[in-house]
Amino acid sequence: MSQRVDATDPHNREQAIASAASAVKGGRLVVLPTDTVYGIGCDAFDNQAVEALLRAKHRGPDMPVPVLVGSWDTVQGLVREYSFNMRRLVEAFWPGGLSVVVHQAPSLPWNLGDTRGTVMLRMPLHPVALELLNRTGPMAVSSANISGQPPATSVAQAESQLGEDVIVYIDGGEATIGEASTIVDLSSGRPRILREGATSAEQIGAVLGMSAAELRGQI
C-alpha cells in the first residue's frame, strides 16, 4: 500500500526522508520532489527496481533511466572520464536544471536500459532530494509520470498517474521550476543539446565558449 509523507513541514521532514530512504534501500520505488519536476526513483544499482520503474512508467529499456546524485564528488566515480567540459558544467550549473550525458565507468554493475555505455547525470537543486540522495547514494530517477503524459509538478499529479506502483510519495510542495532539465550530450566529442529546458542554451554556451546555435547543431 502506498504512503504519502509530508516533507513540507519541518517537524515531519526527517521522518518523511527516512521512510523514503528505507524504501529505496529495500528495492522499492519512491516519488521525490526536485527543482524541475517530480521524479520516480529507486536505487540505481538495483536492477530489479530499475525494471519496476520502467514498468511503472509504461516504457521499455530503449529509453534509459537517468541518475541523480547528491554531490559533485559522487559523479566522479560514475564516469569513464571527468572531462574538462563536464567539470565546467558541473561547477556552473549543479545543483540545478542541467543533465549531462557522458560515458559511464565501465565497471559499474547497473542496468539502466539501452545506454550504449553512457549515463545521464544530474544533481537537483532541492533540499529534500539532496538529503535523500545523500542517504541512499545514486538513484535512477525519471519524471514521475506515465510515458507520454505531462510530467508531474506536484505529488498529487504523480500519485494520480503512478498509483500503487510507488510505495512512498514524498510531498515537497509544488516544483519550483516546473520544467524538465536541459540535456547536454558530452559523449560524442563536441557538446550538443539534446533537449532544451530549465537551463538555456545561451547560459550553457557562455560556460563552454560556444554559441547557442553551435550547441543546437545549427552550425
Q: Residue 62: inside a domain, yes or no?
A: yes
> pTM of the prediction?
0.95
E-strand stretches of the chain: 3-6, 30-32, 39-43, 67-68, 98-103, 118-122, 139-143, 168-171, 182-185, 192-195
Instruction: Count up the domains in the chain and report the number.
Output: 1
62 contacts 114 by C-beta, under 8 angstroms: yes
Q: Residue 212: inside a domain, yes or no?
A: no
Q: Residue 101: inside a domain, yes or no?
A: yes
pLDDT at 54 over 80: yes
Work out the average pLDDT over 47-76: 96
Q: Residue 194: inside a domain, yes or no?
A: no
**Domain harbouring 80, CATH code:** 3.90.870.10
pLDDT at 152 over 90: yes
pLDDT at 30 over 90: yes
| Boundaries of domain holding 48 | 3-178
Residue 55 is predicted with a pLDDT of 97
Residue 176 is predicted with a pLDDT of 86
Rounded Cα distance between 120 and 203, Å, is 19
Residue 103 is predicted with a pLDDT of 97
Q: Residue 73: inside a domain, yes or no?
A: yes
pLDDT at 219 over 80: no
Band of residue 57 on the pLDDT scale cut at 50, 70, 90: very high
Q: Residue 109: inside a domain, yes or no?
A: yes
Q: Residue 211: inside a domain, yes or no?
A: no
Q: Residue 189: inside a domain, yes or no?
A: no
Written as nine digits, the cell of 3 is: 504512503
Work out the average pLDDT over 30-55: 97
Work out the average pLDDT over 90-114: 96
Band of residue 1 on the pLDDT scale cut at 50, 70, 90: confident
